[in-house]
Structure 1
Amino acid sequence: MKVMKKVLTGTMVLAMAALFTSCNQGDGKEIIRISHNQAADYPTNTGLLAFEKYIEEHLGDKYDVQIFPNELLGSQVNTVELTQTGAINFTVASNAILESFDDIYQIFNLPYLFSSTEHYHAVMDNKDIIEPIFKSTKKSGFEAVAWLDAGTRNFYTVKKPILTPDDLKGMKIRVQQSASNIRMMQLFGGSATPMGFGEVYTALQQSVIDGAENNEPALTSNKHGEVAKYYSYNMHQMVPDIVIGNEKFLSSLSKEEREIFDKGFQIISQVQREAWGAYVEKSIEGAKEMNVQFFHPDVLAFQERVLPLHQEVLKSSPKLEPIYNQIQEIGKSMIGGKENE
């Protein structure tokens, strides 16, 4: 079955690549295709629409930017492959997927890496830290060009709230498909169940899993709150979503064009981040209407369980240690920063 699935996936990618081989439309403009897996009203799409407007205002005589939300071009795994081949130009990828291309992305999956939202944003806006990470996948045919705020990841469950790490014992929790996330769940005491995001609703509904971990919009945009009624703010991760671009396309841009695109990438992050806070508040209100209950357990109890993962990951991948130390120094220098609530 696994072999057949791989064959089908590969066939689909090749078919999509063939479909998109012709990049130009009748008016001679080159089509720039951008894929993501969120709804059209999600902050990700808001940021990408601002990018579309900016690029077409400055390079509209040459490029036609087209955005495909809601996995219209396939799952994240598939669209990352399509971006590698150049069948599409850009896609939004989870950090967990990028970790499979270069383990330098493991750094963002470390639980409780950031002490606050301000710390998180300061690190992600630090070019000295981020640029080497973003360029690490060029050998795989793509590079990261922008980061998107995805808030904090927390547990939400069907049958009972998670108030202490011990509450996770014997529970099957969906995690993103990465080794570090599986290990994190082991340290919490739960049973990690890796699966694609699109499978989570049905898995919750059919009791294949007891819960999942994600931000608040997952409750409403993806309707998980219809099934999972307990949301616990243990705040174990702040993991960005990443916009990646086909390396061949990016390299084909002239210096002037690349400067315009780089400004456009900054606009994606800026507009998406500005929209994020209001969207989360709207999601919380929507989840309450679904009768989801929100809990604020003692975060320290959860933190103590998984901090050993930091040293495990640094030991297995020494190249992460300088990055990790830089991140910790930025945290120490941020005096008086407001902590997450």
Structure 2
Amino acid sequence: MRLKTILYCLFFIPLLFGCNELTKKTKTIKLAHGLDTKHSVHIAMLKMSDDLYKLSNGTLKINVYPSQQLGTERECLELLQIGSLEMTKVSAAVLENFAPKMKVLGLPYLFRDREHTFNVLDGEIGQELLDDGIQFWLKGLGYYDAGSRSFYSKDKAIHSPEDLKGLKIRVMESVSAMNMVRSLGGSPTPISWGELYTSLQQGVVDAAENNPPSFYLSRHYEVCKNYTLDEHTVVPDILVGSTHFWDALTEQEKEWVKIAIKNSVKYQRELWLEAEKEALTEVEKAGVKIIRPDKTLFSDMVTPIYDEVKKDPEVYKLIQRIKNTK
């Protein structure tokens, strides 16, 4: 009889009092991206996962899938659209194919400096851009720092736009990126990030462009021994959620997710500054020649892009608002 009483107390009493450990269910959020596990964005995402789990008392959990495990950036966006994936990280350049206003962020020499960049992205304009993909089932959730993009080349060093002539340069699947390379005299060649190392090795392309941490962590410096810091574009990484996933969350759950994202973004931006310094130091140790050109040689060459943008009044207005942001 005593044994029955003990079993009753152990099993039924917690149920009567609504024991959280027995009744709570955990919602799992799948988050996929194409970056290396050492990248600051991935590390910040792990923090976001931990923070969200604690904030939600274990009812929300993020599983992070790095290194294109679930597909390329474009493929992950398509998975979001059909509701097969909850969140992903993509470059703003790739997102412009789904959210038209995003192409403004691919314009060369748009921002004055780092402070100006984040004043824009964290303000009204940045939110407007994040919301532009909602009609296509894509909800922008925040901006990670991806620094400035610069050219790196296999054989021919790039000191001025003249040196880009005749070079096949890998770009993202972005109209803005292709227009920018053409305006500087190069031949843009869209290739997925995961295929780029081999493409450089085999001579499919002669050069590429990206920020220092990506150049370093991808080990592209093993193939390309020239890195030209012309810093032509500042294209942020964007955390994107499926509207199917977002709309299914309760208001409380949305608040927890927003807090976790905000903490993650702040943390990543701090990590980024150190990652940039480390990347440049390490690639130089590995024999890469760091070239610091006269940037005006490059910025003067892209003026026709801005003239062309005037034909799109909506984007041109955005440019003026960005330029006037303090």
Aligned mate of 1:328, from 292, 315, 323: 323
Q: Which residue of 2 aligns with 1:93?
A: 90
What displacement does 1:123 show? Answer: 1.0
Does residue 199 of structure 2 align to residue 179 of structure 1? no
What displacement does 1:36 show? Answer: 1.0
Q: CA RMSD in A?
A: 1.5
1:174-323 equivalences under 5 Å are: 174-315=170-311, 317-323=312-318
Does residue 115 of structure 2 align to residue 143 of structure 1? no
- Which sections of structure 2, spanning at least 5 residues, go unmatched? 1-22
Aligned mate of 2:164, from 148, 168, 172: 168
Return closer, same or farther for 1:106/1:314 CA change in 2, 3 Å cut-off.
farther
Aligned mate of 1:63, from 51, 60, 63: 60
> Does the residue aligned with 2:265 lie in a helix, a strand or coil?
helix
C-alpha deviations, 1:233-277, integer Å up to 9, x for none?
111000001110010221122222212211122112111101001
Look up the equivalent residue of 1:241 and give its one-letter code: D
Cα distance in 2 for partners of 1:231, 1:204 equals 14
Q: TM-score of the superposition, structure 1-length normalised? A: 0.86
Look up the equivalent residue of 1:82 and give its one-letter code: L
> Does the residue aligned with 1:319 lie in a helix, a strand or coil?
helix
Look up the equivalent residue of 1:63 and give its one-letter code: L
1:29-40 equivalences under 5 Å are: 29-40=26-37
What displacement does 1:328 show? Answer: 0.5
Instruction: Check conservation: 1:111, 1:307, Cα contact below 8 A.
Output: no
Q: Which residue of 2 aligns with 1:48?
A: 45
Cα distance in 2 for partners of 1:224, 1:175 equals 14
> Does the residue aligned with 1:307 lie in a helix, a strand or coil?
helix
C-alpha deviations, 1:130-169, integer Å up to 9, x for none?
1121111112112110111111100100112111110111
Cα distance in 2 for partners of 1:287, 1:198 equals 20
Q: TM-score of the superposition, structure 2-length normalised? A: 0.90
Aligned mate of 1:131, from 114, 127, 145: 127
What displacement does 1:27 show? Answer: 7.7
Look up the equivalent residue of 1:54 and give its one-letter code: D
- Which sections of structure 1, spanning at least 5 residues, go unmatched? 1-25, 334-341
C-alpha deviations, 1:290-311, integer Å up to 9, x for none?
2111011100010000022123
Does residue 76 of structure 2 align to residue 79 of structure 1? yes
Cα distance in 2 for partners of 1:295, 1:55 equals 42
Q: Which residue of 2 aligns with 1:23?
A: none
C-alpha deviations, 1:163-195, integer Å up to 9, x for none?
111011111111111112111111101111111
Cα distance in 1 for partners of 2:42, 2:173 equals 24
Q: Which residue of 2 aligns with 1:10?
A: none
Cα distance in 2 for partners of 1:152, 1:97 equals 16
Does residue 126 of structure 2 align to residue 154 of structure 1? no
What displacement does 1:112 show? Answer: 0.3
Cα distance in 1 for partners of 2:183, 2:240 equals 31
Pick the structure with greater CA Rg: 2
C-alpha deviations, 1:190-236, integer Å up to 9, x for none?
11111111111111111111100111123221110000000011110
Instruction: Check conservation: 1:148, 1:242, Cα contact below 8 A.
Output: yes
Cα distance in 1 for partners of 2:93, 2:318 equals 18
Instruction: Check conservation: 2:150, 2:231, Cα contact below 8 A.
Output: yes
Cα distance in 2 for partners of 1:311, 1:268 equals 37
Identity %: 31
Cα distance in 2 for partners of 1:159, 1:56 equals 48
Number of residue pairs matched by the alignment: 304
What displacement does 1:321 show? Answer: 2.3
Instruction: Check conservation: 1:146, 1:268, Cα contact below 8 A.
Output: no
Cα distance in 2 for partners of 1:159, 1:93 equals 29
Cα distance in 2 for partners of 1:38, 1:238 equals 18
Q: Which residue of 1 aligns with 2:13?
A: none
